[in-house]
Amino acid sequence: MNKAHLAIAFALAAAGATHPAHAVHLNPRGLGQVLIYPYYTVNKGQDTLLSVVNTSEFGKVTKVSFLEGYNGRPVLDLAVYLSPHDVWTARVSQRSDDGGAALFTNDRSCTIPLIPSSGQDFSAASYAGGGAYPADGGPTGITRTREGSIEVIAAADIVPGSALDTATTHLQNGTPNGGVPACTPGVLRTIATADVLAPSSGLFGADSIVHVGEGTFFGYNADAISGFTDRAMTTPTDGMLGARLDGAHSSGSAFPNGAIASVPLDNGRVLALDYARGIDAVSAVFMANAIHNEYLVDAGLGAATDWIVTFPTERFYTDSFYTGGGALAPFEAAFGAPGQSNIAIHGDIYDREEGFTDTYPPINGCGFICPGSLPVTLPYEVNALRILPSTIQDSSEVLGSLLDSFLFPYPAPFNNVSGPGNAGWVKLDLTYGYQPAHQLSGGVTSTGTHVDLNGLPVTGFMVYNVINANAQPGMLANYGGAFPHRANVSCSVVNPPAPAQDPCS
């Protein structure tokens, strides 16, 4: 062990071998202990390119989970060992047009399992009734693995100079990208307790959805959660496979296994809310009563728009494997056959000149019997919401998603407009529910006030594509981009101690 490692080790020992505890929060600067990638896909001939970067001075034991989009069941879990300043990259591609997805990588960072050069197939076992998971009532075919979301959880930091540090640190040979770690199998598979510490922050990541043939590239940054846990999530027997998103923990919580969430509100206040369940603290930092983004659907430009709307914690509230029964608030429906857990929403569509179109019957009624209409629903953990699609087809127009829903205007004359414009923006109201309205309860302030957060835990982005058939004679060009959703955050208190102490006002 060199002098720098000795100094770090002595400092950690003096501090009780732990990092300072923090409340769970979304870091707007992009660094964290947990990374959430709202979408991957291999549909429409696309590939998904993934990167995970460790900016820390400590090596990290991370759990990387690929989750199918219907219900968030894992289709591939692996451990990725990142040495200090390391980067891990991989690609998700299809095996065939009617087959499942597979993971490919040429990266030299240590992984368990080792990814063969021919790729690692995603598995249907978790949702089809194999292994530790029962069947969930959704589709059982391998094509369900073709799209979903990705999680990266830093389960632990690696003690400098330890056997695990030696096994995972890249030995440099003086050439760019030439570093190779030992990846000693016995050390990786049986993680000694003395080799790990509670995880610190320092991860960031990005995802790109690429179609080489069409020349499209949609890139976005992963959401970063800091302060996720203040204890290592590894054991000598299972490594880090027990690390899950419901494992958030804060030593300052008043609950035995609780976690504190730091939630900034629209009114400028930042609430510290203590939850008995770690997953509720994670949901709290993603809560939004509405999300906003733009759209472009101009047929003359060959333009179409998809919104990815991902509920990153939904399975812990709707999947009986986690709930033990029905749905838990803020979600209203349990997941089951035919592979859905419908969430009612409400959209307001605005053109670029303030023209307004509703997507649901007017609140005061139509003046006579309204035409038949159902609420807009999002059925899955990962959803591709098609904004004003030009045609009803089997998949979304931009990303080729089969997890698609539609946002259409309520028909004229009930909105007193002929229809929405071909460009503008949408407000997606997430507080609307069947009964009751969407709310996350259970948060307690330091003064004992019980706070309900309005809406649903959500993340995602808007992606649009423009096809120019006349770029130059005989040439076709594609343009596009991906832009994260913007959100409103609000709360309510049933009986505040006094109006002046109402944190939501």
Average pLDDT of adjacent 10-residue blocks, the chain of 505 residues:
39 35 90 98 97 98 97 96 97 97 97 96 94 94 98 97 96 91 92 93 98 93 97 77 92 96 94 97 98 92 94 98 95 95 91 83 47 70 91 84 86 58 93 77 93 97 88 76 97 78 83
Asked if 226 and 32 count as a contact pair (C-beta separation under 8 A), the reply is yes
Cis peptide leading into 499, omega within 30 of 0? no
Neighbours of 119 (CB within 10 A): 17
Asked if 284 and 274 count as a contact pair (C-beta separation under 8 A), the reply is no
Report the alpha-carbon distance of residue 218 to residue 38 in Å, rounded.
13
Report the alpha-carbon distance of residue 138 to residue 127 in Å, rounded.
7
pLDDT of residue 15: 35
Structure tokens at 86: 């390391």
Q: So where are the chain's domains?
A: 19-241, 285-501
pLDDT of residue 210: 97
Asked if 75 and 263 count as a contact pair (C-beta separation under 8 A), the reply is no
Cα 492 to Cα 13, 234, 314, 502: the distances in Å are 43, 37, 22, 8
Report the alpha-carbon distance of residue 246 to residue 77 in Å, rounded.
16
Asked if 67 and 75 count as a contact pair (C-beta separation under 8 A), the reply is yes
Neighbours of 313 (CB within 10 A): 29
Among all chains, which residue has been given the structure tokens 């303030």?
A: 354
Neighbours of 338 (CB within 10 A): 8
Structure tokens at 377: 């629903």
pLDDT of residue 8: 37
Q: Are strands 290-296 and 343-351 parallel, antiparallel or unpaired?
A: unpaired
Listed in sequence order, the DSSP H helices in 177-303 are 185-189, 278-286
Asked if 382 and 43 count as a contact pair (C-beta separation under 8 A), the reply is no
Query: Which 8-state DSSP code applies to residue 105?
Result: -
